[in-house]
A and B are shown apart, each in its own frame.
Chain A
């Protein structure tokens, strides 16, 4: 077990650090600015690093991806906007797409010329995604789509979406789903921003009324959609593992400064043993997140694809974020809830390079999403219990039931 960065890795880190120091992103308020930033990152070699070289990537090692992600987080600059395309949709196309599809779409994902969204969840199909009802009916040379999607990240920006829709209603629900590429500008597609408890709209609802999708836009075979959506594709995984740790550390450093400025019973809150215990707990838990990150990274470096045990990872970091945001609120008291009006010395970030001001309150609210999206904590525990520990599956009423009799 060698957890040291090699001299080459350290040299690479030095170059990356210098690049970010020399290339501050500037204002990133508009979509065009965000796209331009990704293009700049791509040209510097920091986007799609793990993708195969023939599709515009660099076959980079997970360690190199991790270093770039760590340095981006350390410099407090935002990542590439086309995150779903880079992490999930592109890799799916690389493995399952036709040559025509790869030629048409992949390069423009990397340059952010076309933003992608993922059309998965529906109002009645959250944890039970396979019960989805959006339908695709074959009509000559195209499919006709009707239904509704929800919780679509980047939905308001996207030029294309990857769509899960039901093509066969009379078979068991996992078998009747297909995977499509959808041009979001097609007639009958309506996108409505979804306002969340944070007050902002990172997600959208998407409605389909007789939307025509060309037959060649199916990915893989008809009925193979569920299988494709389940594939864990690890090209970009190295990146996210340690960046999360770096962001937590940055927030923690700021929280410590704030605890020094904040007074409690006539002394800095930082000197209160109760506050210190809370901060100490955060330090310890983030350290452990870092060590588990090294473990995942060294598995990826050895070429092992993460299996169901990645549920352990997701369960830990999402629950950790929720726990830590509660501790932040405990330490800051009523100040923690201010979206505006917080004294500068208590603010989360008075001068990020981005120029936008995230708040403790926003982070607190946002942490509630992490244990719901991408498989809720309860779903992760089912996966761990059944697929890792091999505990008996729950009896389920829906396994063999055609979806048309009620999902």
Chain B
């Protein structure tokens, strides 16, 4: 149902022609499309109904992101709905949620998360930018890189260091027009995902800007990163689906040596392997989404498996798509590169395949030592 709704909407509003037009907009997306999405309730899909959202879960969010990847929808949906809203929802503080979530849910406000500094690390140790106490508030100075759709954001959530220890980070919600805050847009290989460098030069905030708790920033960033990892996997899955669809269609009509190239086993088998990867990626994404929604003890491993698997799978599928297409797939004019780059964009984000393989192993080792401790004598022999 939701998938059909999202697919029909994006088929209408995010055609390759519309995508290319949106990329020429100053901030890289169409405001009109965003307004329509807001009317459909998409920005509030996974926000609690008590804060103006639809109260749905990660499964529904994954369905929409899957379709957005398939359509290469350019816009701040991921940044605002998956990253920023998840951080705020993870705070569990009613006053913080009531302050931001209704506006985010209705699409009246857009937010983003400024996390990465000089190195893409997905642990608290990557956060070095300082937030120094001044009176009741804080002063922030530093540089955040690769901030998604910062130019489209009214609110920037930023993780900064307020102390030492295993965490020692604090998340602040800062209006993007605050004095001392400036941004410089990057040019991304994937034009459908804009990013900026955001510079904080003595930005002064009150203590009410804190999201979550002081010195425990990772307790709101961590859960958001897990959702973002599954969301990114869903995006890569969608882009891979499109690449597979285009390749199969092309292999049926492109003639060489007097026959459709799809008749040759070299091409046919490549397409078969692409389908296998898409099917596996589908199973991994939706299992992880289900596990997060159900609060299953499986969830951390499922998230690592999903992002770890799909990062590699989408690389293979989208790369094979260019190979199946041959020369035409290497042109700017043909649309295939939109989806190829879309998938590539999410590959290193929120933990690449190496990162998540290591996570998966660690979780397996923890599980093994836990079951060792509780082993029943009858099964121990």
Instruction: Please tell me if A277 contacts chain B, counting CB pairs below 8 Å.
Output: yes
CB distance from A349 to the nearest CB of B (A): 12
| B364 and A380 within 8 A (CB) | no
Q: In the complex, which residue of chain B has the Cβ closest to the Cβ of A4? A: B294
Asked whether B237 is an interface residue with its Cβ less than 8 Å from the other chain, the reply is: no
Q: Closest chain A residue to B311 by CB distance?
A: A284
Q: How far is the CB of A389 from chain B (nearest CB, A)?
A: 5
Given A21-B378, A385-B272, A284 and B360 contact (CB-CB distance below 8 Å): yes
- Across-interface contacts of B252 in A (CB, < 8 A): 390-392
Contact with A along B232-275 (1 / 0, CB 8 A): 00000000000000001001100000011011110111011101
Distance from B203 Cβ to chain A, minimum over Cβ atoms (Å): 38
| Contact digits for A363-407, partner B, Cβ 8 Å, 1 yes 0 no | 000000000000000101110111011111111000000000000
Say yes or no: A392 contacts B262, CB within 8 Å.
yes
0 or 1 for each of A344-361: is its CB under 8 Å from B? (1 = yes): 000000010100000000
Are B357 and A384 in contact (CB-based, < 8 A)?
A: no
Determine if A312 and B276 form an interchain contact, defined as CB atoms under 8 angstroms apart: yes
Selecting from A39-47, A116-124, A174-182, A285-293, the interface stretch reads A285-293
A354 CA to B182 CA, complexed, in Å: 69
Interface residue? B290 (CB, 8 A): yes
Q: Is the CB of A391 within 8 A of B309?
A: no
Stretch at the interface among B4-12, B170-178, B278-286: B278-286
Q: Chain A residues near B374: list those with CB within 8 A.
A: none
Tell me which residues across on chain B come within 8 A of A316, comparing CB atoms. 276, 280
The count of residues in chain B whose C-beta lies closer than 8 Å to any C-beta of chain A is 47
Interface size, A (range): 35 or more
Query: Chain B residues with Cβ under 8 A from A3's Cβ?
Result: 287, 290, 294
A22, B287: Cα distance in complex, Å: 34
Which chain A residues border B24 with CB–CB below 8 Å?
Answer: none
CB neighbours (8 Å) of B357 from chain A are 276-277, 280-281, 283-284
* A277 pairs with B265, CB closer than 8 A: no
Q: Does B358 contact A (CB under 8 A)?
A: yes
- Chain A residues, CB < 8 A from B251: 391
Q: Are A288 and B284 in contact (CB under 8 A)?
A: yes
- In the complex, residue of chain B having the shortest beta-carbon distance to the beta carbon of A278: B357
**Which parts of A285-314 form the interface with B (CB within 8 Å)?**
285, 287-288, 291-292, 294-295, 309, 312
Interface residues of B (CB under 8 A from A): 59, 248, 251-252, 259-260, 262-265, 267-269, 271-273, 275-276, 279-280, 283-284, 286-287, 290, 294, 301-302, 304-305, 308-309, 354, 356-361, 363-365, 368, 376, 378-379, 381
Given A283-B361, A292-B283, A394-B264, 6 further pairs, Cβ under 8 A: A256-B365, A284-B305, A291-B287, A316-B280, A381-B265, A385-B272
Question: Could you list 13 A-B pairs, sorted by A, with CB under 8 Å?
Answer: A1-B290, A21-B379, A280-B308, A309-B279, A382-B268, A382-B269, A384-B272, A389-B272, A391-B251, A392-B260, A394-B263, A395-B259, A395-B263
